[in-house]
Amino acid sequence: MSRNVSSRAWHPRRRVTGPGGDRTSEDGWRQETQKETVPQGSCLLMCPAAELREREAQRRLHRFEVLPGTERQRLPRADPTRTVKEYSRPAAGKDCTRPADLRPPAVLYRTVCYLVDNIASSAGLQPWNEVYDFVFDRLRSVRQDMVIQRVGGEACVSVLERTVRFLLYAEYRLSGEPLRCFDPQINRAHLRESLAWLLGCYQLEPGLHSNQEEFEALCLLYNLGSLDALRHALCLPEKLRGSPGVRLALAVNRAFLERNPVRLLRLARPLPFLHSCALHPHLTRCRRDLLLLYSHGLSSRNGRFPLPRLAELLGLGGGSQAAELCQAHGVEVSGDWAVFNKGSFKEAERQPDGGSSYELVGCKQGDRSLASIIHGEP
């Protein structure tokens, strides 16, 4: 899988993006739009007919797109109801604005729903990192079509909301995979870009989108400690800033900035599942900070701290997980007790990951399907 995208810090989306790239001057953009016509897609299928024939002839169909019963043929046939337009890098001399190759907003939304309902959520498609690769690429193609057509409004918001939820879930689910199967840096770059684009859409139409509270909170939790994200949240309208979700995310962010891991991990418990997925990349550091804090504050030759209580504070499932984490950081474990000593603390060479996220993240999914989570259904 080749996805060469550089990671960047989160920032509010302030620029208008079009086929020619980002335009930092609003006046220049208006002058240019007067000279060119924004292309409008006319393709009513998830994959343009020309691309379908080309990929079929070149044997570039993904196994999720092959017509059942033709898999063993010399040239497997494409199933038009399952084939989805793949992402294509802009190239010199290539016209990416032909209406027949672009899908209108309604088709783009239908494509995203197909990817969520029929691919990402299908329990029979394994391993899931292969599912992720396919959905990631096809969602990227959807966003490419939106940029070329300058899709905005509710259609753009609906696609971006589902994209952000999928990428957040994927980062949590694939967090233990080797780099050859999942690159978290690439996923984060696309997630931050999609999230910034989405929040920019909210700013253009304030008060019109019912899910804004959810994504403003997700932005704060995913970009924990980012002053840009915090500044953005503090500039929100008072009603939105004071909503339960944003208020809790601000409290978590404050605990992080104050280096108070005990309070942060306590506040993480009532977070919903997807918000916990957003916080998940920061849990390792929070737990490390808690052990460092206790190694200095409770350092004593004869002092002991009960492992079950420590596991509860760390948001772990039991004393055995707490003992494993303590030993990785040089904290002595004696029976059901941890013995803190500031001189023995060390940075862990390898972070234990066996079930360490279940208490604060995994258990919150319950029996909800992945499709209901990505669609934002209660």
Q: Residue 34: which pLDDT band, with cuts at 50, 70 and 90?
A: very low
pLDDT, tens only, 339-359:
999 999 999 887 766 567 899
Q: Do 52 and 194 fall into the same domain? A: yes
* Residue 27 in domain: no
H or E element, residue 282: helix 273-297
pLDDT, tens only, 292-308:
999 999 998 788 999 99
**What are the residues facing 23 on neighbouring strands?**
16
Contacts of residue 373, Cβ cutoff 8 Å, sequence gap at least 6: 165, 169, 273, 274, 365
C-alpha distance from residue 183 to each of 6, 51, 201 (Å):
12, 28, 28
Q: Do 135 and 227 fall into the same domain? A: no
Q: Do 87 and 150 fall into the same domain? A: yes
Domain count, the chain: 3
* Residue 23 in domain: no
Contacts of residue 44, Cβ cutoff 8 Å, sequence gap at least 6: 103, 104, 107
Cα–Cα distance measured from residue 159 to residue 165, given in angstroms and rounded to the nearest whole number: 10
Q: Do 200 and 64 fall into the same domain? A: yes
* Residue 189 in domain: yes
Q: Do 60 and 135 fall into the same domain? A: yes
Among residues 101, 106, 112, which one has the least CA distance to residue 49? 101
Q: Which whole number is the average pLDDT over 138-142?
A: 98
Instruction: Looking at 115-183, list the stretches that DSSP marks H as alpha helix, in order from N- to C-terminal side.
Output: 128-149, 153-173
pLDDT at 15 over 60: no
Q: Do 125 and 59 fall into the same domain? A: yes
Q: What's the first-to-final CA gap in the chain, in angstroms?
A: 34
Amino acid sitting at position 52: L
Residue that terminates a domain, selected from 208, 233, 250: 208
What is the reported pLDDT for 154? 95
Q: Do 202 and 103 fall into the same domain? A: yes
What is the reported pLDDT for 6? 40
* Residue 29 in domain: no
CB distance 196 to 12 below 8 Å: yes
Mean pLDDT of the chain: 89
Q: Do 45 and 140 fall into the same domain? A: yes
Q: Do 168 and 312 fall into the same domain? A: no
Q: Do 291 and 170 fall into the same domain? A: no
What is the reported pLDDT for 356? 77
Amino acid sitting at position 92: A
Domain span holding position 154: 36-208
Residue that terminates a domain, selected from 228, 258, 288: 258
* Residue 371 in domain: no
What is the reported pLDDT for 26? 44
pLDDT, tens only, 87-125:
998 875 577 889 999 999 999 999 999 999 999 998 676
* Residue 7 in domain: no
* Residue 28 in domain: no
Q: Do 202 and 234 fall into the same domain? A: no
Q: Do 238 and 169 fall into the same domain? A: no
C-alpha distance from residue 161 to each of 85, 139, 344 (Å):
20, 12, 46
Parallel, antiparallel or unpaired: strands 332-334 and 337-339: antiparallel
Among residues 141, 142, 169, 138, which one has the least CA distance to residue 158? 142
* Residue 323 in domain: yes
pLDDT, tens only, 167-223:
999 999 999 899 999 999 999 999 999 999 999 999 999 988 999 999 999 999 999
The answer for 317, left when phi > 0, alpha when psi is -120 to 50, beta otherwise, is alpha
